[in-house]
């Protein structure tokens, strides 16, 4: 169909009329599906369920089939939803959400009608908020289930703030192939792992370098001061109290792994230090 020749106001008017007809047809479809379901006519065609009939015979997708079956069955107990569908106050997606909520909370017909009135003319996002208000909080932990050799299905509940952050990242990366949630999560995990690996590699390299690096030969000033105080600025060789040409002597030589620890040091005069007398 080529609509390029249609003027703007005619195109807009025709579109509105077609949408109204679409809603009217949808109501008729739901009534037909309800009657087929009531008579179990799908069995005559060899289908085991209404869902199989809708997906295989009518070629609906699983989601489309579920929404239509759910809505047509609601018509029996809540016939007023037909008018709401015709006026565009409700749609099949919202009705499906409402039916799940009714079942989970075991609502009476009066309560169901109140909920339908509350969610009328609301967006899917607004309806999610309304129906979630009284729901029992979902578990915080994630559940995992293998679906193939290389894939795992993960179900988890996130705070709205986290969801908003993910959406913001999706928007920022919308020009790339990372805009879908699985690709975005893979991208974030890869980035964080690379950053952590670099960090730990740096730490490991630094620790290795420190381990290989010998302590400096220079004796810390604080150790020197403590040694001079302990020796009272005199040679510590037994019987010698010289104060001249005092030198620090390692009991276990530095070249043999001796440390600068105070207990490994003695203050000796030049003569005793040269001779290596130490006790």
Domain regions of the chain by residue span: 8-132, 143-211, 221-275
The rounded distance, in Å, linking the Cα atoms of 170 and 174 is 6
Band the pLDDT of 174: cuts 50, 70, 90: confident
**Percent of residues, the chain, with pLDDT higher than 90:** 34
The rounded distance, in Å, linking the Cα atoms of 95 and 9 is 32
Secondary structure of the chain in the HEC alphabet?
Answer: CCCCCCCHHHHHHHHHHHHHHHHHHHHHHHHHHHHHHHHCHHHHHCCCCHHHHHHHHCCCCHHHHHHHHHHHHHHHHCCCHHHHHHCCCCCHHHHHHHHHHHHHHCCCHHHHHHHHHHHCCCCHHHHHHHHHCCCCCCCCCCEEEECCCCCEEEECCCCHHHHHHHHHHHHHCCCCCCCCHHHHHHHHHHHHHHHHHHHHHHHHHHHHHHHHCCCCCCCCHHHHHHHHHHHCCCCCCCCCCCCCCCEEEECCCHHHCCCCCHHHEEEECHHHHHHCCCC
Residues 6+ apart with CB under 8 A from 50: 33, 36, 37, 42, 69
pLDDT tens digits, one per residue of 212-243: 555 677 888 888 888 888 888 899 888 888 88
pLDDT score for 205: 74
pLDDT value at 135 more than 60: no
**Percent of residues, the chain, with pLDDT higher than 70:** 90
pLDDT score for 140: 57
pLDDT tens digits, one per residue of 75-133: 999 999 999 998 889 999 999 999 988 988 888 999 999 999 999 999 988 998 888 76
Main-chain phi, psi angles of 157, to 5 degrees = -115, 125
**Average predicted confidence (pLDDT) for the chain:** 85
Band the pLDDT of 278: cuts 50, 70, 90: very low
Calculate mean pLDDT across residues 166-177.
Answer: 81
Band the pLDDT of 74: cuts 50, 70, 90: very high
pLDDT tens digits, one per residue of 255-275: 888 888 888 899 999 888 887
The rounded distance, in Å, linking the Cα atoms of 82 and 71 is 9
Calculate mean pLDDT across residues 29-36.
Answer: 94
pLDDT tens digits, one per residue of 183-207: 888 888 988 999 988 887 887 676 5
**Residue 41 corresponds to which tokens in the numbers above?**
């006519």
Q: Which of 66-75, 153-162, 172-181 has the lowest mean pLDDT?
A: 172-181
């Amino acid at each position: 169909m080529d609509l390029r020749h249609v003027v703007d106001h005619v195109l807009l008017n025709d579109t509105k009329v077609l949408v109204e007809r679409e809603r009217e047809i949808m109501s008729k479809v739901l009534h037909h599906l309800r009657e087929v379901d009531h008579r179990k006519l799908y069995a005559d065609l060899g289908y085991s369920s209404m869902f199989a009939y809708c997906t295989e015979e009518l070629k609906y997708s699983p989601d489309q089939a579920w929404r239509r079956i759910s809505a047509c069955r609601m018509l029996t107990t809540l016939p007023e939803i037909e008018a709401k569908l015709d006026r565009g106050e409700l749609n099949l997606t919202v009705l499906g959400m409402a039916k799940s909520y009714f079942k989970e909370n075991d609502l009476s017909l009066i309560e169901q009608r109140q909920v339908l009135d509350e969610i009328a003319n609301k967006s899917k996002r607004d309806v999610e908020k309304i129906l979630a208000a009284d729901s029992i909080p979902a578990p915080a932990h994630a559940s995992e289930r293998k679906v193939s050799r290389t894939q795992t299905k993960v179900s988890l509940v996130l705070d709205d703030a986290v969801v908003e952050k993910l959406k913001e990242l999706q928007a920022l990366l919308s020009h790339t192939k990372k805009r879908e949630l699985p690709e975005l999560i893979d991208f974030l995990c890869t980035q964080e792992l690379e950053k952590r690996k670099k960090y730990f590699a740096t730490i490991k390299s630094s620790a290795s370098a420190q381990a290989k690096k010998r302590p400096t030969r220079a004796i810390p000033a604080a150790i020197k001061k403590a040694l001079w105080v302990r020796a009272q600025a005199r040679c510590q060789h037994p019987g010698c109290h010289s104060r001249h040409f005092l030198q620090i002597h390692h009991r276990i030589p530095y070249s043999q792994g001796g440390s600068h620890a105070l207990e490994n040091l003695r203050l000796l005069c030049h003569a005793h230090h040269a001779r290596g007398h130490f006790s």
